[in-house]
Structure 1
Amino acid sequence: MEPIEINAGHHYLRALRADDRLDDRPALVSAFADEEMRRWVYHYSVPDLEAAGRYVALRTREWADDERCSWAVAEPTTGELLGEVGLKNLDLDAGTAEVACWTHPPARCRGIMTEAVGAAVRFGFGALDLKEVRYTHAEPNTASARLAEKCGFTLRGGLPGETEVDGEPATLMVWTLRL
Structure 2
Amino acid sequence: MEPIEINAGAWYLRALRADDRIDDRPALAECGITDPDYVAERSAGWTAETHFSWAVCEPTTAELVAEIGVTPAGDGTAAINGWARPGYQRALDAGLTSVRRFVEGGLGLRPVTS
Normalised to the residue count of structure 1, the TM-score between the two structures is 0.61
Offset, 1:94: 2.9
Q: 2:68 matched to which residue of 1?
A: 85
Matches within 5 A, 1:70-109: 70-88=53-71, 90-91=72-73, 94-108=75-89
**Structure 1 unpaired stretches of 5+:** 33-45, 137-179
Equivalent residue letter for 1:85: I
Question: What is the aligned-residue identity percentage?
Answer: 46
Higher RCO, 1 vs 2 (CA within 8 Å, ≥6 residues apart):
2
Rg: which structure is higher? Answer: 1
Q: 1:13 matched to which residue of 2?
A: 13
Q: Secondary structure at the match of 2:61?
A: coil
Pair 1:65-2:73 in alignment: no
Aligned CA RMSD, in angstroms, stands at: 1.3
The separation in 2 between residues aligned to 1:86 and 1:119, in whole angstroms, is: 12
Equivalent residue letter for 2:56: V
The separation in 1 between residues aligned to 2:7 and 2:81, in whole angstroms, is: 19
Could you list the per-position Cα deviations for residues 36-88 of structure 1 after superposition, in whole angstroms to 9, with x for gaps in the alignment?
xxxxxxxxxx33xxx2x311011001111111110000000100000101212
Offset, 1:135: 1.4
Q: 1:124 aligns with which of 86, 103, 106?
A: 103
Could you list the per-position Cα deviations for residues 97-133 of structure 1 after superposition, in whole angstroms to 9, with x for gaps in the alignment?
011100012424xx11111001111000111011x21
**Structure 2 unpaired stretches of 5+:** none
Pair 1:27-2:27 in alignment: yes
